[in-house]
Amino acid sequence: MTNIIDAAVFLIIGMIGGFLGSILGIGGGSIMTPLLLASGYDILVAVPASLFAIVGTSLGGLYVYDEKKLINYELGIYALALMVPGSITGVLIGTAGFKQVMKATLAVVLVITSLTMIRPYLSRNKSVTIQEPRPRPLIGYSSMYLAGLISALAGIGGGVLAVPVLNKIMARDIKEAVASSKFMVGVTGAAGALGYYLGGYLSSCLALALLAGSLLGGLIGSATGVRLSGKTITLLFSGFLMLMAIITLIKG
Protein backbone atom coordinates (compact mmCIF):
# COMPACT_ATOMS: atom_id res chain seq x y z
CA MET A 1 0.00 0.00 0.00
CA THR A 2 2.98 2.27 0.51
CA ASN A 3 3.23 4.98 -2.17
CA ILE A 4 4.30 8.61 -2.41
CA ILE A 5 1.06 9.87 -0.85
CA ASP A 6 1.32 7.41 2.04
CA ALA A 7 4.95 8.37 2.61
CA ALA A 8 3.99 12.06 2.68
CA VAL A 9 1.25 11.38 5.23
CA PHE A 10 3.64 9.39 7.41
CA LEU A 11 6.23 12.14 7.13
CA ILE A 12 3.72 14.78 8.24
CA ILE A 13 2.52 12.66 11.16
CA GLY A 14 6.15 12.16 12.17
CA MET A 15 6.80 15.90 12.06
CA ILE A 16 3.75 16.61 14.22
CA GLY A 17 4.77 13.94 16.72
CA GLY A 18 8.40 15.04 16.73
CA PHE A 19 7.58 18.72 17.21
CA LEU A 20 5.03 18.26 20.00
CA GLY A 21 6.90 15.34 21.53
CA SER A 22 10.08 17.39 21.84
CA ILE A 23 8.25 20.22 23.59
CA LEU A 24 6.39 17.88 25.93
CA GLY A 25 9.16 15.32 26.49
CA ILE A 26 6.95 12.38 25.51
CA GLY A 27 8.74 11.02 22.47
CA GLY A 28 5.80 11.77 20.17
CA GLY A 29 4.40 8.24 20.26
CA SER A 30 1.29 9.26 22.20
CA ILE A 31 0.56 11.59 19.29
CA MET A 32 1.76 9.50 16.35
CA THR A 33 0.13 6.22 17.43
CA PRO A 34 -3.41 7.65 17.72
CA LEU A 35 -2.97 9.57 14.46
CA LEU A 36 -1.87 6.38 12.71
CA LEU A 37 -4.91 4.58 14.13
CA ALA A 38 -7.11 7.45 12.93
CA SER A 39 -5.55 7.00 9.47
CA GLY A 40 -6.76 3.41 9.37
CA TYR A 41 -3.64 1.49 10.35
CA ASP A 42 -3.69 -1.57 12.58
CA ILE A 43 -2.40 -1.19 16.14
CA LEU A 44 0.35 -3.75 15.44
CA VAL A 45 1.53 -1.59 12.54
CA ALA A 46 1.23 1.75 14.35
CA VAL A 47 2.93 0.78 17.61
CA PRO A 48 6.20 -0.68 16.21
CA ALA A 49 6.56 2.18 13.71
CA SER A 50 5.95 4.78 16.41
CA LEU A 51 8.51 3.21 18.71
CA PHE A 52 11.07 3.28 15.91
CA ALA A 53 10.29 6.94 15.16
CA ILE A 54 10.54 7.83 18.84
CA VAL A 55 14.25 7.11 18.59
CA GLY A 56 14.45 9.87 15.98
CA THR A 57 12.45 12.25 18.14
CA SER A 58 14.83 11.69 21.01
CA LEU A 59 17.98 12.15 18.94
CA GLY A 60 16.47 15.08 17.02
CA GLY A 61 16.33 17.38 20.01
CA LEU A 62 18.54 15.78 22.64
CA TYR A 63 21.56 17.99 21.97
CA VAL A 64 19.52 21.15 22.65
CA TYR A 65 18.62 19.99 26.15
CA ASP A 66 22.15 18.72 26.72
CA GLU A 67 23.53 22.12 25.77
CA LYS A 68 21.21 23.72 28.32
CA LYS A 69 22.42 21.16 30.91
CA LEU A 70 18.85 20.10 31.67
CA ILE A 71 19.39 16.33 31.31
CA ASN A 72 20.04 14.32 34.48
CA TYR A 73 21.92 11.38 32.94
CA GLU A 74 22.51 9.58 36.24
CA LEU A 75 18.80 9.61 37.01
CA GLY A 76 18.01 8.48 33.47
CA ILE A 77 20.40 5.51 33.54
CA TYR A 78 18.97 4.22 36.82
CA ALA A 79 15.45 4.56 35.42
CA LEU A 80 16.39 2.76 32.20
CA ALA A 81 17.60 -0.25 34.19
CA LEU A 82 13.91 -0.86 34.91
CA MET A 83 12.29 0.66 31.82
CA VAL A 84 14.07 -1.60 29.31
CA PRO A 85 12.97 -4.89 30.97
CA GLY A 86 9.46 -3.44 31.15
CA SER A 87 9.63 -2.67 27.44
CA ILE A 88 10.58 -6.27 26.65
CA THR A 89 7.59 -7.48 28.68
CA GLY A 90 5.31 -5.14 26.72
CA VAL A 91 6.55 -6.50 23.39
CA LEU A 92 5.81 -10.06 24.51
CA ILE A 93 2.26 -9.11 25.47
CA GLY A 94 1.69 -7.08 22.30
CA THR A 95 2.89 -9.77 19.92
CA ALA A 96 0.62 -12.30 21.62
CA GLY A 97 -2.30 -10.65 19.82
CA PHE A 98 -3.98 -8.59 22.53
CA LYS A 99 -4.90 -5.68 20.25
CA GLN A 100 -7.82 -4.36 22.31
CA VAL A 101 -5.66 -4.45 25.42
CA MET A 102 -3.09 -2.36 23.58
CA LYS A 103 -5.68 0.24 22.54
CA ALA A 104 -7.29 0.35 25.97
CA THR A 105 -3.91 0.72 27.65
CA LEU A 106 -3.03 3.65 25.43
CA ALA A 107 -6.33 5.47 26.03
CA VAL A 108 -6.45 4.91 29.79
CA VAL A 109 -2.86 6.00 30.35
CA LEU A 110 -3.36 9.16 28.30
CA VAL A 111 -6.49 10.17 30.23
CA ILE A 112 -5.04 9.48 33.69
CA THR A 113 -1.77 11.24 32.92
CA SER A 114 -3.57 14.25 31.43
CA LEU A 115 -5.80 14.70 34.48
CA THR A 116 -2.91 14.19 36.91
CA MET A 117 -0.78 16.87 35.30
CA ILE A 118 -3.51 19.51 34.96
CA ARG A 119 -5.24 18.97 38.33
CA PRO A 120 -3.20 21.54 40.32
CA TYR A 121 -4.15 24.27 37.84
CA LEU A 122 -7.89 23.56 38.09
CA SER A 123 -8.21 24.65 41.71
CA ARG A 124 -11.05 27.14 42.26
CA ASN A 125 -9.12 28.84 45.04
CA LYS A 126 -6.50 30.80 43.13
CA SER A 127 -4.89 31.99 46.38
CA VAL A 128 -3.82 28.45 47.27
CA THR A 129 -0.15 27.86 46.57
CA ILE A 130 0.69 24.69 44.67
CA GLN A 131 2.87 22.69 47.06
CA GLU A 132 6.13 21.26 45.87
CA PRO A 133 6.08 17.43 45.83
CA ARG A 134 8.21 15.45 48.28
CA PRO A 135 10.73 13.13 46.56
CA ARG A 136 9.76 9.44 46.74
CA PRO A 137 12.56 7.67 44.83
CA LEU A 138 11.52 4.10 45.67
CA ILE A 139 8.05 4.58 44.20
CA GLY A 140 9.47 6.63 41.35
CA TYR A 141 12.02 4.08 40.18
CA SER A 142 9.54 1.22 40.63
CA SER A 143 7.12 3.06 38.34
CA MET A 144 9.71 3.05 35.55
CA TYR A 145 9.18 -0.67 34.90
CA LEU A 146 5.50 0.08 34.28
CA ALA A 147 6.50 3.00 32.05
CA GLY A 148 8.64 0.69 29.93
CA LEU A 149 5.90 -1.95 29.70
CA ILE A 150 3.27 0.57 28.62
CA SER A 151 5.78 2.09 26.20
CA ALA A 152 6.05 -1.11 24.18
CA LEU A 153 2.41 -2.08 24.63
CA ALA A 154 0.93 1.23 23.47
CA GLY A 155 3.73 2.69 21.33
CA ILE A 156 4.16 5.82 23.43
CA GLY A 157 7.85 5.76 24.34
CA GLY A 158 7.24 5.82 28.10
CA GLY A 159 7.44 9.60 28.38
CA VAL A 160 3.77 9.99 29.27
CA LEU A 161 4.54 8.22 32.53
CA ALA A 162 8.20 9.17 32.94
CA VAL A 163 7.57 12.93 32.89
CA PRO A 164 4.84 12.92 35.59
CA VAL A 165 6.82 10.44 37.70
CA LEU A 166 9.97 12.56 37.52
CA ASN A 167 8.02 15.77 38.16
CA LYS A 168 5.46 14.67 40.76
CA ILE A 169 7.04 11.66 42.49
CA MET A 170 10.76 12.32 42.08
CA ALA A 171 10.20 16.07 42.65
CA ARG A 172 12.21 17.19 39.62
CA ASP A 173 11.60 20.49 37.85
CA ILE A 174 9.30 20.06 34.84
CA LYS A 175 12.00 21.14 32.39
CA GLU A 176 14.51 18.71 33.88
CA ALA A 177 11.84 16.00 33.78
CA VAL A 178 11.10 16.70 30.11
CA ALA A 179 14.78 16.76 29.12
CA SER A 180 15.70 13.61 31.07
CA SER A 181 12.64 11.84 29.68
CA LYS A 182 13.81 12.62 26.15
CA PHE A 183 17.04 10.74 26.84
CA MET A 184 15.16 7.82 28.40
CA VAL A 185 12.43 7.39 25.78
CA GLY A 186 14.97 7.14 22.98
CA VAL A 187 16.57 4.08 24.57
CA THR A 188 13.22 2.54 25.56
CA GLY A 189 11.78 3.13 22.09
CA ALA A 190 14.78 1.43 20.49
CA ALA A 191 14.37 -1.61 22.74
CA GLY A 192 10.66 -1.91 21.92
CA ALA A 193 11.14 -1.38 18.19
CA LEU A 194 13.87 -4.04 18.10
CA GLY A 195 11.56 -6.50 19.82
CA TYR A 196 8.77 -5.94 17.29
CA TYR A 197 11.27 -6.10 14.40
CA LEU A 198 12.49 -9.49 15.57
CA GLY A 199 8.85 -10.59 15.69
CA GLY A 200 8.27 -9.43 12.10
CA TYR A 201 5.84 -6.62 12.94
CA LEU A 202 7.90 -3.55 11.99
CA SER A 203 6.98 -1.93 8.66
CA SER A 204 10.25 -0.41 7.44
CA CYS A 205 8.70 2.07 4.97
CA LEU A 206 6.26 3.45 7.51
CA ALA A 207 8.90 3.55 10.24
CA LEU A 208 11.48 5.36 8.11
CA ALA A 209 8.95 7.98 6.97
CA LEU A 210 7.92 8.62 10.58
CA LEU A 211 11.57 8.72 11.63
CA ALA A 212 12.47 11.34 9.01
CA GLY A 213 9.55 13.53 10.05
CA SER A 214 10.18 13.11 13.76
CA LEU A 215 13.83 14.10 13.39
CA LEU A 216 12.90 17.36 11.71
CA GLY A 217 10.02 18.02 14.08
CA GLY A 218 12.19 17.18 17.08
CA LEU A 219 14.80 19.76 16.14
CA ILE A 220 12.20 22.50 15.80
CA GLY A 221 10.30 21.42 18.91
CA SER A 222 13.33 21.36 21.20
CA ALA A 223 14.36 24.87 20.17
CA THR A 224 10.81 26.01 20.94
CA GLY A 225 10.42 24.07 24.19
CA VAL A 226 13.34 25.65 26.03
CA ARG A 227 11.64 29.06 25.60
CA LEU A 228 8.32 28.02 27.16
CA SER A 229 7.41 28.30 30.84
CA GLY A 230 6.88 25.23 33.00
CA LYS A 231 3.16 25.97 33.35
CA THR A 232 2.71 26.33 29.58
CA ILE A 233 4.47 23.00 28.98
CA THR A 234 2.29 21.29 31.61
CA LEU A 235 -0.97 22.63 30.17
CA LEU A 236 0.05 21.70 26.61
CA PHE A 237 1.08 18.26 27.82
CA SER A 238 -2.31 17.67 29.46
CA GLY A 239 -4.39 19.04 26.58
CA PHE A 240 -2.72 17.03 23.85
CA LEU A 241 -2.82 13.80 25.83
CA MET A 242 -6.58 14.18 26.37
CA LEU A 243 -7.12 14.87 22.67
CA MET A 244 -5.12 11.79 21.69
CA ALA A 245 -7.05 9.66 24.19
CA ILE A 246 -10.34 10.70 22.57
CA ILE A 247 -8.99 9.83 19.10
CA THR A 248 -7.82 6.44 20.33
CA LEU A 249 -11.18 5.61 21.93
CA ILE A 250 -13.06 6.63 18.79
CA LYS A 251 -10.85 4.44 16.62
CA GLY A 252 -10.84 1.58 19.13
**Could you report the per-residue pLDDT of 56-84, keeping only the tens digit for each?**
767 766 777 888 888 999 989 999 999 99
Query: Which residues of the chain fall short of a pLDDT of 50?
Result: 128
Query: What's the pLDDT score for residue 91?
Result: 92
Using N-to-C axis directions, what is the helix angle for 73-94 and 174-198, rounded to 10°? 40
pLDDT of residue 124: 56
pTM recorded for the entire structure: 0.75
What pLDDT is recorded for position 3?
75
Q: How many percent of the chain have pLDDT more than 90?
A: 11
pLDDT of residue 92: 92
Where are the domains positioned within the chain? 4-251
Tens digits of per-residue pLDDT, 131-171?
Answer: 566 778 888 888 899 888 888 888 876 777 788 888 888 88
Closest CA to 185 of 204, 162, 216, 167: 162
Q: 232: alpha, beta or left, given left = phi > 0 and alpha = psi -120 to 50?
A: alpha
CB count within 10 Å of CB 41 equals 20
Cα(24)–Cα(168) distance, rounded to whole angstroms?
15
Q: What is the 3-state secondary structure (H, E, C) of 137-180?
A: HHHHHHHHHHHHHHHHHHCCCCHHHHHHHHHHHCCCCHHHHHHH
Q: Which residues neighbour 66 within 8 Å (Cβ) at sequence distance 6 or greater?
A: 179
